[in-house]
Chains A and B, each alone.
Chain A
Amino acid sequence: METIFGLDLPTLWFLVIGGLITGYGVLDGFDLGAGALHLFFNKEESRRLALNAIGPVWDGNEVWLVIAGGALFAGFPLVYGTILSIFYVPFMLFLVALIFRGISIEFRGKEPMAWWRKMWDVAYMVSSTGITLLLGLILGNLIHGLPMNEKHEFTGGLLTFFHPYALLIAVTTLSLFMLHGAIYLVMKTENRLYAKLTVLVNNCSKFFILCFILSSMVTLIYIPHMTDEFKEHPWLFVLPMLAVLTVLNIKRNIDARKYFTAFVFSSCITAILLILFAIGLYPNIVISTTNPAFSISIYEAASSPKSLKIMLLIAAIGTPLVISYTIFVFWTFRGKVKLNEMSY
């Protein structure tokens, strides 16, 4: 099989898609988290500031979802069709929540009435929380594996998705994004709202650390196929160690009020957790709990080598562009958020 940098093409694409999903988690993670925290702010001014802190960037962050989806479609069409149709109802709810979130950000500020703004505040919080929980639920099920027969057909029902492990991962995802969002907001605000957020960010970090410990332990005990790879290659244990160190560093930097550094570390933990997930999966991409042999591997699902090579070229040209204007936009809107007549 053809290789580039010693990696075969499906593996490279597995990494590219992993990178895109990580980018989505890191970027949209903080604005989803900010949304989940929205109702903790009581005053109109605070809510507007919190909303405008993500105002110029949330749309660009969501692009990573579109690109990651497109890359999965292109790289592993079989997986794209299988995962999306198995999680039909969760994905439909996810899409509707995305729409509601977009319109609540857009429409909230268009009318001055208190009931109008309150309504969209609730819609914004509920949809942000819902999106995060659904993503976590799907992630939890993918870690756990799904009942699938030899034709990769799903043999469960809607209730199959709601087992305790998947719910735990859903809550953990929410706690991570809330922490990530709170750190972002505290960087972007000043004065009273900043003071309030310093307390909130502290509580979020405690909530996340609790979830992190719990889900790590449960995964170690109950999900053996996620840890097999680590037993075979003990040097991989560096990664869980790194995860623990990163979590400790988030806490340390929050306590020292070094929020930018804390934000870098909360981005890192998102990445590390997804890397751990990817190592556990590889070389499979959807695991069958019915029989490990019925799992979908990246080699079975991959597009043709020619297509993968073309798309690698597209990604190699496109990614630096996307990253450079992402940085440009974040740089333009650096510093504390201010309200003006164009604000939400």
Chain B
Amino acid sequence: MPSVEILSRIQFAFTIAFHYIYPPLSIGLGVCLVIMEGMYLRTGIKLYEDITRFWIKIFALIFGIGVATGIVMEFEFGTNWATYSRYVGDIFGSALAAEGIFAFALESGFLGILLFGWNRVSKGVHFFSTIMVALGSIFSALWIVIANSWQQTPTGYMIEGEGLQARAVITDFWEMVFNPSSVDRFSHVILGSFLAGAFLVMSVGAWYIVRNRFVEPAKAMFKVGLSVAAIAALAQLFTGHRSAEYVSHYQPAKLAAMEGHWDSSAVAPMYLFGWVDNKSGKTTGLAVPGGLSFLTHGSFQASVTGLNAFPVTERPTAVNFVFQTYHIMVAIGMMLIALTLAALYFLWRKQLFNKKWLMTLFVWAVLLPQVANQAGWYAAEVGRQPWVVYGLLRTSDALSKDVKANQVMFSLILFTLVYALLFVLFIYLLNKKIQHGPAMTHNEEDESDAFSKRNIKQLQNPEH
């Protein structure tokens, strides 16, 4: 049987990757919902209410799975990574506690009103709840990314104790919160989430337009999605660049792995695509000569620290994997910019919704931000190896001592089965809701009429 370490890493990677399908969608959809409902309140046009109601139902489905798979993540720190928990609890714990109490409680509390409160609260209070849910999901990402960023670039701490009894203790809360990478990484993650949600909205809208169904609501939702996506895709260039800068400063081994750069004395090219041979320590592919040198030092002639400068035990071993995931993310980022700019151009020419080929592209483009988000996180997390807390705690030292390999195997199989089922059900229900489409707004008096009829019926058909 594989070791506890390998099994625990696979389980964590699998459960976090699966989880990470959903929160970015919730965050992006949350912003789109605020715009849709805001438009409804401002214009009073029923169409906007219809699409708001439609997307709230999909939001609830996605949010529900995000919560269920998110609780697993929280508990996994303790179950599989007890040493890590003890090591970072003093620091990581406060970020996680802040996430729970400030963010998660906010979104879960107000979600009930979003879903069931249409006839119970005023339009203004409902809109307020929508904003609270959207903000809650963004705050949630904020604290989680802060905690993760601290693992990448730890600051505001000191080490107490020795050897395996050592732990990191907080010395400055704000230094921990604003560690060197947290602002850049949070903005990068949040824009990636906006893209995920906005492209889902556009995908569904485009699909209706291609199929010639619900055309008016479809156009409205597409425009909302496009406005969010266009801003996010362009802004992502900036945050992406900032993230690369922090990596070059604080995690040179990760940067070298991302670009497959080996020799420290050499000028570093920037690959458009390529392949890394880990054994021979060579990278081949199509590259801009001196590109990475320019990116990190502002000069095409400067040399950049390469992988050979690090002992094998202090740099990532899956170099090609980090290289490929990083390049996939960057390539998709460029594609998203091209797609949104094309859509904006045709919207300006008033031809957008007649371009069937572009609409068809947008139907499928929903997958692109998902792949980019996953690939980006893989590059960030695998690139950090062999450390779980950069430079302080090795992943192999972070395990639970009380857990045996067969137990992890059991839970890994369990999660694989349950998540497979969950994913099938998710796709099935998502498809069903999309097929059903946005309903026309109900007349509220009819509704209360239906209540009383149902209640009378209930009286006539007693329980037994």
Contact = CB atoms under 8 A, between A and B. Distances in A.
Please indicate whether A and B come from the same complex rather than being unrelated chains. Answer: yes
Contacts of A226: none
Contact of B429 (A71, A96, A107, A196): A107
A325 B108 CA distance: 10
Chain A interface SS verdict (over half): helix
Interface in B149-175: 160, 167, 169-171, 173
B418 interface: yes
A57 B109 CA distance: 8
Interface in B118-159: 118-121
B72 interface: yes
Contacts of B61: 106
A70 B96 contact: yes
Interface string A14-52: 000000000000000000000000000111011000000
Interface stretch (B83-91, B265-273, B305-313): B83-91
Interface stretch (A235-243, A263-271, A276-284, A311-319): A311-319
A82 B81 CA distance: 10
A153 B401 contact: yes
A102 B101 contact: no
A74 B93 contact: yes
B76 to A, nearest CB: 8
Interface stretch (B63-71, B208-216, B375-383): B63-71
Interface in A45-92: 45-46, 55-57, 59-60, 62-63, 65-67, 69-71, 73-78, 80-86, 88-89, 91-92
A84 B73 CA distance: 13
B99 interface: yes
B170 A73 contact: no
Contacts of A338: 451
Contact of B86 (A57, A77, A110, A329): A77
Interface in B49-64: 60-61, 64
Contact of A74 (B87, B89, B102, B447): B89
Interface string B380-421: 000000000000000000001111000100110011001000
Interface residues of B, number: 85
A321 interface: yes
Contact of A311 (B97, B110, B462): B97
B281 to A, nearest CB: 38
B93 A85 contact: no
Chain A interface size, as a band, is: 35 or more
B101 A319 contact: yes
Contacts of A41: 463
Contact of B71 (A75, A95, A304): A95
B170 A310 contact: yes
Interface string A294-328: 00000000011011001100110011011001101
B454 to A, nearest CB: 7
Interface string A145-184: 0000000011000000000000000000000000000000
B100 interface: yes
B291 interface: no
B79 A66 contact: no
A196 to B, nearest CB: 5
Contacts of B64: 59, 102-103, 106
Contacts of B230: none
A164 B75 CA distance: 27
Residue from the set B71, B117, B118 with the largest chain A CB neighbour count within 10 Å: B71
B68 A43 contact: no
A69 B459 contact: no
A314 B94 contact: yes
A98 interface: yes
Nearest to B79: A84
A62 B67 contact: yes
B78 interface: yes
B432 A110 contact: yes
Residue from the set B61, B69, B112, B400 with the largest chain A CB neighbour count within 10 Å: B112
A70 B451 contact: no
Given A56-B116, A103-B425, A322-B109, A70 B80 contact: no
B115 interface: yes
B401 A85 contact: yes
A69 B112 contact: no
Contact of A83 (B78, B113, B422): B78
A92 B414 contact: yes
Given A81-B82, A99-B69, A322-B101, A73 B109 contact: no
B94 A67 contact: no
B29 interface: no
B233 interface: no
Nearest to B426: A103
A71 B105 CA distance: 14
A80 B85 contact: yes
A312 to B, nearest CB: 10
A77 B447 contact: no
Given A43-B463, A66-B71, A304-B170, A314 B98 contact: yes
Given A43-B461, A77-B88, A102-B65, 7 more contacts: A42-B464, A59-B64, A63-B100, A74-B94, A191-B459, A303-B169, A310-B94
Interface of B: 60-61, 64-65, 67-72, 74-75, 77-94, 96-102, 104-106, 108-113, 115-121, 160, 167, 169-171, 173, 400-403, 407, 410-411, 414-415, 418, 422, 425, 429, 432, 442, 447, 450-451, 454-455, 458-459, 461-464
Interface of A: 41-43, 45-46, 55-57, 59-60, 62-63, 65-67, 69-71, 73-78, 80-86, 88-89, 91-92, 95-96, 98-100, 102-103, 106-107, 110, 153-154, 191-193, 195-196, 303-304, 306-307, 310-311, 314-315, 318-319, 321-322, 325-326, 328-329, 332-333, 338-343
17 contacts: A62-B108, A71-B97, A77-B85, A77-B88, A81-B83, A84-B82, A84-B85, A88-B407, A98-B68, A192-B459, A303-B90, A306-B171, A307-B93, A307-B94, A314-B97, A332-B120, A340-B447
Closest 5 CB pairs of A and B: A77-B89, A74-B93, A81-B82, A84-B78, A318-B101
